[in-house]
Amino acid sequence: MKKDIKPTTILALRFRNAVIRLLFVTVAVVTALFFLFECRVRSVRVEGLVHVPEPAIMDTAGIRVGRHLYAISESKLARNITESSPYVRAVTLERTLPHTVTIRVEEYDLAYYVFFEGVYYLLSDDLLILEETTPEDAAELGAVPLLTQPIKPPKLPKDAPKDTPIRLTVGERIAFVTKSDLEWTQELLDAIRMTDYADNVTSIDLSDRYELSLTVSDKYTVLLGNEKDFARKLTRVGGALRHATETMFGVTGTVYARSDAPVTFEITGVIETEGT
């Protein structure tokens, strides 16, 4: 027996629609109230720091507890933090509802240190001047000593006293007397960083264009000639270093790499204390 289906009346439709609208408005009001009054900062986290102290980032950010999460300008925050330290490459802001702000800092990779006019400077992997240093502090940080083509001194103000010391400008890329040397130096350093023994490089000398060299593990001197086939020579050197490490334990030596000749290895000494 079939049941009669009663038609929906206009009054019932209006009631249903009113209930739906009421629910929608209620959800919207609750969401708005939650957004306005609950999305407040209670926790600030900083991630990605290696060289910059966290208190310095927190002070520069100036994010107060109780501030609305979306009242924080990410672009202004990033600009202020980036300008506060030469180590900072980029900054991003992440909001986690309802109460957490995370500041993610990307730092430049500290890679080298150079000497200029009586002062040592730390450099990033792309030759940005990070700060003044000492050889001891630079070595402790893992920076590699780097000899370069002649560095261009910055211009002093016209009214500067004659005895004003010349200092490189922290936060700027290093400049050379010959402008093209910057790109040339960067290309060679990038090639070295791509080798499988890059982490063991303990000094780099690019001061003589016709006898580029580096040392590895403070045991092996690598002579590379000029920049011709530089990356290929570095790869061939890797094989010679692996052979020396595996078969000639405890010796020091010189690796000769030329474009038109096989790589050769010359033993120069023995490290008596190695392995003890």
CA geometry: angle at 86 spanning 137 and 83, to 5°?
150
What amino acid is encoded at 184 in this protein?
Answer: W
| Domains 43-107 and 194-276 in one fold | no
CATH number for region 43-107: 3.10.20.310
- In this structure, the strands spanning 251-258 and 220-225 are parallel
Q: Is the peptide bond before 98 cis (omega within 30 degrees of 0)?
A: yes
Nearest to 149 by CA among 184, 191, 118: 184
Domain ranges of the chain: 43-107, 109-186, 194-276
* In contact, 126 and 87? CB cutoff 8 Å: no
C-alpha R_g of the chain: 31
DSSP element (H, E) containing 15: helix 10-37
Q: pLDDT 10s per residue in the chain (276 long)?
A: 555 555 557 776 676 776 677 676 665 545 444 455 467 889 999 999 999 999 999 999 999 998 888 889 999 999 999 999 999 999 999 999 888 999 999 999 999 999 999 999 999 999 999 999 999 999 999 999 999 999 999 988 888 888 888 999 999 999 999 999 999 999 999 999 999 999 999 999 999 999 999 999 999 999 999 999 999 999 999 999 999 989 888 899 999 998 888 999 999 998 866 554
Q: Domain 194-276 falls in which CATH fold?
A: Rossmann fold (3.40.50)
In this prediction the pTM is: 0.84
Please tell me the distance from the alpha carbon of residue 204 to that of residue 191, in angstroms, as a whole number: 12
Q: What per-residue confidence (pLDDT) applies to 59?
A: 96
Q: What per-residue confidence (pLDDT) applies to 250?
A: 86
Distance of CA 60 to the CA centre of its chain: 20
Q: What per-residue confidence (pLDDT) applies to 192?
A: 98
Distance of CA 108 to the CA centre of its chain: 2
